Amino acid sequence: MGRSVTRSLTVDALAARLGARVVGDGSLVIRGVANLESAGLGDLSFCVDTKHRAAAVASAASVMILREEDVAVNSCTRIVHPHPHSAFAKALDALFPADPVVAGISPTADVDASALTASARVDALASIGARTSIGAGSHIHPHVSIGADVVIGSDCVIYSGARIYPGVRLGDRCIVHSGAVIGSDGFGFQPSAQGWQKVAQVGGVVIGNDVEIGANTAIDRGAIEDTIIGNGVKIDNLVQIAHNCRIGDHTAIAGCAGLAGSSVVGARCMIGGAAMVVGHLSICDDVVISGGSLVASSITAPGRYTSVFPITEHRTWMKIAAGLRRSGK
Amino acid sequence: MGRSVTRSLTVDALAARLGARVVGDGSLVIRGVANLESAGLGDLSFCVDTKHRAAAVASAASVMILREEDVAVNSCTRIVHPHPHSAFAKALDALFPADPVVAGISPTADVDASALTASARVDALASIGARTSIGAGSHIHPHVSIGADVVIGSDCVIYSGARIYPGVRLGDRCIVHSGAVIGSDGFGFQPSAQGWQKVAQVGGVVIGNDVEIGANTAIDRGAIEDTIIGNGVKIDNLVQIAHNCRIGDHTAIAGCAGLAGSSVVGARCMIGGAAMVVGHLSICDDVVISGGSLVASSITAPGRYTSVFPITEHRTWMKIAAGLRRSGK
Amino acid sequence: MGRSVTRSLTVDALAARLGARVVGDGSLVIRGVANLESAGLGDLSFCVDTKHRAAAVASAASVMILREEDVAVNSCTRIVHPHPHSAFAKALDALFPADPVVAGISPTADVDASALTASARVDALASIGARTSIGAGSHIHPHVSIGADVVIGSDCVIYSGARIYPGVRLGDRCIVHSGAVIGSDGFGFQPSAQGWQKVAQVGGVVIGNDVEIGANTAIDRGAIEDTIIGNGVKIDNLVQIAHNCRIGDHTAIAGCAGLAGSSVVGARCMIGGAAMVVGHLSICDDVVISGGSLVASSITAPGRYTSVFPITEHRTWMKIAAGLRRSGK
């Protein structure tokens, strides 16, 4: 019993979109999508590779996307594609098409008279500041706050309750999830006789095209220069990007990770969940940081890096920890 | 000087509600609550167990909930109960009764005409989408955004600025704190020649009864299937629950913890603060994960597990770390 | 090419404000600010100390704040000051003056008739509860929710979408960034035969003067007593402060850190990013916790403490981890 699609397609129609070959009944109508294990009558599923062959053999899916070498695993209707997961992602876009964005400003939104939002959709109770420009086809959900002098490109989706401080710039086709905050002050203070003296944060945030920013993630504005997020960067939920960070194109940062101030991360890196990067260091292109690791010095060679204590039963841990403590004496 | 109660009760009236015995003046009126250390005239306090006996001896509380074996620690009025902390929790409910929820829709709320909210309270500036249903006695605070096709059970409290994406389902008596986001897209991408290709997240989120979700916590919708949170699950602040997670009944997850995609956590587990669970693994029932630990492989036996480097003075740490680095050569 | 200032000043005018000596052309007008590396014509920059001398020599800045001993590094106009970074911070305040706060309530804000906001500015779509008082010169941005019986001092800035629960008290000159939640329920539950029993959280939150609270940070109300944040405390983004914590004056807490329930942190401490403090323990004054460290027992002597596994290439890590596992047998 899969998830019902919002637009039914025949297998032949879908395969034509994917440029893929059909084995079996191409006139069958796809009515749902599901994992191999839970798929049933009318459902489309997919078999990524050899690891999933047993599940594919047992699956009750009506249609399956799979590789040429796996074509015999099941006698259902098959769509043969060299990259089944990627083809399945494209299938989802066809079976769950996004509603077209109808431009218009809700009467309960608070939009400054000088804002440019002509071809955008602005939902109820959103707030948009002076001189801010929202590109064509962008959709601002309810309760979004956008400050003054912001530039948002075309075809962006800003989900409810996201906050964009003044002067931030986003490219085209960006997705910002609920509760994300972009452009808050960096954590900049100088010691003084009266305690911490705030250092005004006068930089901005510049975000490229095709960037996705997860729920409740925070991206601070730069101290003087801009915080920069490259094209195609994907940031998960509850991630902290401090002031002056620069993140290269197509880097992905998983949930709960944090980048301290002035971290520079290269292109095509993968920062694992809850990984932390200490400030004022740089990570070169094509580096993978394991989840939960703390990067405390610059990394200059591609590869995978790790700094995680191995998990054990608590009793065993106590022995290991005691040994480590002795080694420090 | 304790916290003033919002409804005064005599000791006898309170003890009757608790089914507990009174030693001393039962006609005394309880006017405040406090810890043993700060309690004074008119205040109710409690002594959990032997560890707190010294504080109980010294306490100036007028009334104390304590166990039979501790009854002699103080000559104030005493309420004798086998579980003092639990009895104190019930006393708080009696002394600080919640205001009854008066149904009604604020004129500044934006509620879709097709939403069903007849017996709920919807506060100022909240937004509720099409076909969404809010159960009787539920209270939607200001600035909450609830998308289309959401189902919220009865007697829920959704605090200001919580975000509930379309299609999410909550059971009865749930509490969602400010800034929590439920139903945002999972972090699903496929590599492609053009960079990361978004995989549409078409699953939902199904949350059981009596679930509490902390401030600024994020729970992603499933990729295809639903993300599932069992009955009685308690989730603290700033927790990340990624797509397709399944969390068993009565599990508690402390602040800053994170569960990566497709983690399966059993019933009655306790996940410590800032603990992280790597994706695509499972934890059986009745497991305790120590705070700050990273679970990188499945756990199949109940018990406590830990993966934390022991804290030391920084100088000592440098020696230990140098020794570890040598051991890797 | 630096950041353009919003108010131009001559070098002489700025130096007079800083009480500093000018070397070179004091009539020069400062038009921008920049780091040494990117500064150009008309830009002010600064050289903190000897580490930055090479950059100062090469810099194209028109004006530089530097120490007496570095005065010869560049022939541009120089402002001589013993603490260049601190002087630069003051210069930013002069060159980017904050707009004066004009008192007034937006017609789309929802302000309870009993609230006292006469000399404050309340922006569009904000919500303010009964009997709440906002001090003179404070600025409440759009979409802020403030509950009943809250007290906010004078000259505070509460950014869009911050949430302040009923009964919370803030001092003067506080800054609360977007998405921060203050006063949510602590994570208090008692085990019972029916699962976790909620313990009502009847304490409050008391925040001193000159406190800054970062984006999406959460501070829970106390269980019975108050959660207390001292004067001059600076808290970064995505920080969790659990119920009953007490934080001493001028302590700074970096992003993604977490303090579990009833932690007591002294004055002038520095808690590194993603550091975690286990509950019911205390840290004395003047302690530095390294980023990513977990404090699992009380600290009674000032100094720096660390508990981080050293980062290595993943292959090396596997060897070290295997050795550690052996040491636990």
pLDDT tens digits, one per residue of A40-78: 999 999 999 889 999 999 999 999 999 999 999 999 999
Chain C residue at shortest CA distance from B292:
C294
Residue C329: which pLDDT band, with cuts at 50, 70 and 90? confident
Distances (CA, A) of A91 to A33, B156, B199, C153, C234: 10, 37, 10, 55, 49
**Amino acid letter, B256:** C
Angle among Cα C194, C199, C202 to the nearest 5 degrees reads 160
Enter the ipTM: 0.97
User: Is B141 within 8 Å of chain A by CB?
Assistant: no
Q: List chain C domain ranges.
A: 3-95, 104-305
Buried/exposed A296-316: b ≥16 CB within 10 Å, e otherwise? beebeeeeebbbbbbbbebeb
Please state, in angstroms and rounded to a whole number, the distance separating the CA atoms of residues C238 and C259. 12
> How close does chain A come to B138, measured CA to CA in Å?
21
Q: What is the arithmetic mean of pLDDT over B276-292?
A: 96
Q: Does A3-95 match A104-305 in CATH topology?
A: no
User: Is C175 within 8 Å of chain A by CB?
Assistant: yes
Contacts of B187 in chain A (CB under 8 A): 214, 234, 236-237, 252, 254-255
Of C181, C198, C320, the CB nearest to B328: C320
List, for residues A123-147, the tens digit of each pLDDT value.
Answer: 999 999 999 999 999 999 999 999 9
E strand or H helix that includes residue B194: none
Across the beta sheet with C234-235, the strand order is: B312-313, C303-306, C287-289, C270-271, C252-253, C234-235, C212-213, C175-176, C157-158, C139-140, C121-122, C104-105
User: Is B157 within 8 Å of chain C by CB?
Assistant: no
Q: Best interface-test mutation with C: which of A163, A221, A326 has the largest number of C CBs within 10 A?
A: A163
- Mean pLDDT (chain B) is 97
Of A3, A142, A310, the CB nearest to B127: A142
Output the six-digit token pair for A294.
């703390």
pLDDT of residue C118: 86
Contacts of C33 in chain A (CB under 8 A): 202, 224
**Amino acid letter, C186:** G
- Cα-Cα-Cα-Cα dihedral sign, residues A157, A160, A162, A167: positive
Candidates A84, A78, A80; CA nearest to A68 is: A80
Length of chain A: 329
Contacts of C260 in chain B (CB under 8 A): 254-255, 273, 291
Of A2, A125, A311, the CB nearest to B295: A311
Asked whether the predicted pLDDT for residue B1 surpasses 90, the reply is no
Chain B residue at shortest CA distance from A252:
B196
**Three-class SS of residue B196?**
strand
Question: Do C311 and A303 make contact, defined as CB atoms within 8 angstroms?
Answer: no
Of B196, B199, B316, the CB nearest to A252: B196
Q: Best interface-test mutation with C: which of B270, B314, B318, B325 has the largest number of C CBs within 10 A?
A: B314
Contacts of A274 in chain C (CB under 8 A): 274
B84-95 and B11-18 are packed helices; what angle lies between their axes, rounded to 10 degrees?
120
List, for residues B124-183, the tens digit of each pLDDT value.
Answer: 999 999 999 999 999 999 999 999 999 999 999 999 999 999 999 999 999 999 999 999
Within the 37-56 window of chain A, which residues sit less than 8 Å (CB to CB) from chain C? none
Residue that has been written with the tokens 């920080």 in this structure: C239
CATH 1.10.10.10 fits B104-305, yes or no: no
Q: What is the arithmetic mean of pLDDT over C227-242?
A: 98
Query: In chain B, how long is the greatest CA-to-CA distance?
Result: 79
Q: Does residue C108 contact residue A145 with C-beta atoms inside 8 Å?
A: no
pLDDT of residue C1: 63
Please state, in angstroms and rounded to a whole number, the distance separating the CA atoms of residues C274 and C269. 15
Q: Does residue A245 contact residue A265 with C-beta atoms inside 8 Å?
A: yes
Please state, in angstroms and rounded to a whole number, the distance separating the CA atoms of residues B251 and B269. 5
Question: Residue A71 phi/psi, 5° resolution?
Answer: -60, -20
Candidates B125, B150, B120; CA nearest to B136 is: B120
Query: Which residue in the list B141, B177, B243, B314 is annotated as catalytic?
Result: B243
User: Is C84 within 8 Å of chain B by CB?
Assistant: no
List, for residues A86-127, the tens digit of each pLDDT value.
Answer: 999 999 999 999 989 999 999 999 999 999 998 999 999 999
The answer for residues whose C-beta is within 8 angstroms of residue A51's C-beta and 6 or more apart is: none
Number of Cβ pairs < 8 A linking chain A and chain B: 205
Residue that has been written with the tokens 């530039």 in this structure: A151
Question: Do A92 and B190 make contact, defined as CB atoms within 8 angstroms?
Answer: no
List, for residues C40-89, the tens digit of each pLDDT value.
Answer: 999 999 999 889 999 999 999 999 999 999 999 999 999 999 999 999 99
Of B190, B195, B324, the CB nearest to A86: B190
Contacts of A110 in chain C (CB under 8 A): 106, 108, 124-125, 142
Share above pLDDT 90 across residues of chain B, in percent, rounded to a whole number: 96
> How remote is the C-alpha of B146 from its chain's centroid?
21
Contacts of B258 in chain A (CB under 8 A): 238, 255-256, 273-274
E strand or H helix that includes residue B265: strand B264-265
Q: Does residue A121 contact residue A102 with C-beta atoms inside 8 Å?
A: yes
Q: Does residue B243 contact residue B267 with C-beta atoms inside 8 Å?
A: no
pLDDT of residue C50: 87
**Amino acid letter, C112:** D
pTM: 0.97
> How close does chain B come to A75, measured CA to CA in Å?
23
pLDDT of residue A157: 98
Of A161, A181, A307, the CB nearest to C310: A307
pLDDT of residue B2: 82
Asked whether the predicted pLDDT for residue C126 surpasses 80, the reply is yes
Pairing relationship of beta strands B157-158 and C110-111 according to DSSP bridges: unpaired
Residue A1: which pLDDT band, with cuts at 50, 70 and 90? low
Please state, in angstroms and rounded to a whole number, the distance separating the CA atoms of residues C26 and C45. 15
User: Is B175 within 8 Å of chain C by CB?
Assistant: yes
Pairing relationship of beta strands A212-213 and A127-128 according to DSSP bridges: unpaired
Q: What is the arithmetic mean of pLDDT over A318-325?
A: 93
Within the 94-123 window of chain A, which residues sit less than 8 Å (CB to CB) from chain C? 110
Query: Which residue in the list C81, C139, C177, C243 is annotated as catalytic?
Result: C243
Least confident of B73-82, B279-288, C143-152, C320-329: C320-329
Question: Do B238 and A237 make contact, defined as CB atoms within 8 angstroms?
Answer: no
Output the six-digit token pair for A317.
């841990």
The terminus-to-terminus CA distance of chain B in angstroms comes to 61
Contacts of B311 in chain C (CB under 8 A): 293-297, 305-307
Catalytic residue list contains B243: yes
Instruction: Give the torsion through C-alpha atoms of A192, A193, A196, A201, to 10 deg.
Output: -40
Query: Which residue in the list A143, A177, A243, A280 is annotated as catalytic?
Result: A243
Contacts of B181 in chain A (CB under 8 A): 161, 177-179, 215-216, 237
CATH 3.40.50.150 fits C3-95, yes or no: no
pLDDT of residue A2: 82
Within the 267-286 window of chain A, which residues sit less than 8 Å (CB to CB) from chain C? 274, 276, 278
pLDDT of residue B88: 97
Of B190, B203, B240, the CB nearest to A3: B203
User: Is C141 within 8 Å of chain A by CB?
Assistant: yes
Long-range contacts made by residues C322-325, C-beta under 8 angstroms, separation at least 24? C323/B327, C323/B328, C324/A309, C324/A310, C324/A320, C324/A324, C324/B324, C325/A310, C325/A312, C325/A316, C325/A320
List, for residues A230-254, the tens digit of each pLDDT value.
Answer: 999 999 999 999 999 999 999 999 9
User: Is C236 within 8 Å of chain A by CB?
Assistant: yes
